[in-house]
Structures are given as C-alpha cells and as structure tokens.
C-alpha cells in the first residue's frame, strides 16, 4: 500500500492523521503528504502572498520537519489561497490532485471530512471525491476522511451532518511521534485549553483509543473501501 495524505493547510496532515502516518511508515509503507493551500494569507484583509512569503517559507520548513518525524517520504506544497479556495474553480483543484495521484500512484488516500467549519477543508473533500472516483484502472482501494480539531468539532450538527467515525486506528505506539510532529508546528499550535493545542490532541487520541479499548487512536469516516 502507498498512502497519499491530502490536506488543506500545513499542520492539517498531522492533526488529522499524524499517528496513522507514523504507524504506516514504521511498517515500511510509503506515505506522501500533499498540502494544497499556503496557510498564511487569510490573516490579511486582502490576499498578499508576497507580504507573507517569510511566514510561508517557515510553514514549509515546519511541514518538512513534521513529515520527517512521522516518517513520510515526501511533502508536496501547492499555493492555493488560504481560506479562499472556494474562489477557485473546483475542476482546477481536482486537476492538481489528479496530477499528484498520477505521480505517487497511491492505493490509500486520507483527507478531510466534509463537516468542517473551514471552507478549504470542505472544498478539498469535494475535490478528492472527484479525483478518486472509481473508474476502471483506478488503483485507490481506500478513501478515509479524518477530523481536524478546531474545525471538525466547531461545526454545529444542525448545520451539516456531523463527523461520524466508523474506522479507528490504534496509534498507541505512535502517539509520541504525532505529538512531536505537532510541536514542530510551533507557530500553528495554541495553548491549552484551545482545541488546537498539543494537550487537546493528546486528549482526543486517548478518547478515540478508549472507544476501541486501546491507549490511543485516530478516528476516520470511511469514504470507500474496495476489497
């Protein structure tokens, strides 16, 4: 199996699936990270990529450091506008994802759930669904959707269908790697009790683990599994 993690912003790949990536990598599987949005320019009233170039370079450095910690073989960084991906034609995003799928030939894809507050997460969810459609010759046998703290749990259940996990991965031996990779994103993490703090992510992993009777786990919703 080869896994491609498709995330919106630098840190989403670790927040959602860092433990699973570490587990797969430790087992000898190839894992690749694809991050589509630059993750910085939404902090300005209007997009100014050149004015955020130093910050974007730092995020790229963090993404590579985090990938090294969890054992991902590569990181690909695109430059779609942060929190403005709904301004891009969906087909243009699909084409970029399809290009990376041809390059990496994954058999498993991990990406965002469609219930998140963050608009980029939902756009990427839809784009991945289109890019991984089960046409003849498609090698992708698994599509799983992950949760991202400070987005997934902030969406009111009366607004969109809530994230309902039905696949749990035991990451008891790899939780430390996930937490270390999160610490590599020092500028993106927040202090407890913020939902995007190292402590909150550890609590979530412990809760997901208790759901299946193990020390720690990550939860996913199954998009498609082809046996």
Q: Rounded distance, CA 112 to CA 16, Å?
A: 8
- Give the residue among 169, 168, 151, 172 at the shortest CA–CA distance from 160: 151
**135-157 tens-digit pLDDT:** 998 999 999 999 999 999 999 99
Tell me the percentage of the chain whose pLDDT exceeds 90.
93
pLDDT band at 45 (very low <50, low <70, confident <90, very high): confident
CB atoms within 10 A of CB 214: 17
Domain count, the chain: 1
H or E element in which residue 223 lies: strand 217-225
**Amino acid 112: pLDDT:** 98
Tell me the percentage of the chain whose pLDDT exceeds 70.
100
Mean pLDDT of 33-39: 95
Q: Is the pLDDT of residue 129 over 80?
A: yes
Asked if residues 201 and 147 have their Cβ atoms less than 8 Å apart, the reply is no
pLDDT band at 97 (very low <50, low <70, confident <90, very high): very high
| Cross-strand partners of 76 | 34
**Amino acid 50: pLDDT:** 75
Domain with 137 in it: what CATH number? 3.40.50.10320
State which residues form the domain around 19. 2-225
Q: Rounded distance, CA 38 to CA 50, Å?
A: 12
**Amino acid 41: pLDDT:** 87
**101-128 tens-digit pLDDT:** 999 999 999 999 999 999 999 999 999 9
Q: Determine the straight-line distance between the first and last CA of the chain, rounded to whole angstroms.
A: 13
Q: Rounded distance, CA 34 to CA 97, Å?
A: 8
pTM of the model: 0.96
């Amino acid at each position: 199996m080869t896994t491609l993690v498709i995330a919106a912003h630098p840190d989403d790949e670790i927040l959602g699936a860092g433990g699973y990536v570490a587990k797969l990598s430790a087992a000898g599987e190839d894992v690749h990270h694809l991050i589509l949005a630059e993750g910085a320019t939404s902090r300005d009233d209007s997009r100014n990529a050149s004015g955020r170039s130093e910050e974007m370079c730092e995020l790229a450095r963090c993404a590579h450091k985090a990938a090294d910690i969890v054992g991902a073989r590569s990181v690909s960084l695109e430059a779609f506008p942060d929190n403005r991906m709904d301004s891009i034609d969906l087909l243009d995003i699909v084409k970029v994802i399809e290009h990376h799928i041809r390059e990496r030939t994954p058999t498993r894809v991990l990406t965002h759930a469609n219930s998140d507050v963050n608009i980029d997460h939902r756009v990427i969810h839809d784009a991945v669904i289109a890019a991984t459609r089960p046409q003849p010759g498609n090698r992708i046998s698994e599509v799983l959707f992950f949760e991202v703290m400070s987005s997934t749990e902030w969406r009111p259940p009366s607004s969109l269908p809530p994230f309902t996990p039905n696949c749990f991965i035991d990451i008891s031996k790899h939780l430390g790697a996930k937490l270390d990779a999160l610490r590599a994103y020092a500028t993106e993490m927040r202090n407890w009790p913020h939902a995007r703090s190292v402590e909150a992510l550890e609590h979530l992993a412990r809760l997901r683990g208790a759901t299946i009777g193990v020390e720690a786990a990550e939860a996913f919703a199954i998009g498609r599994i082809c046996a």
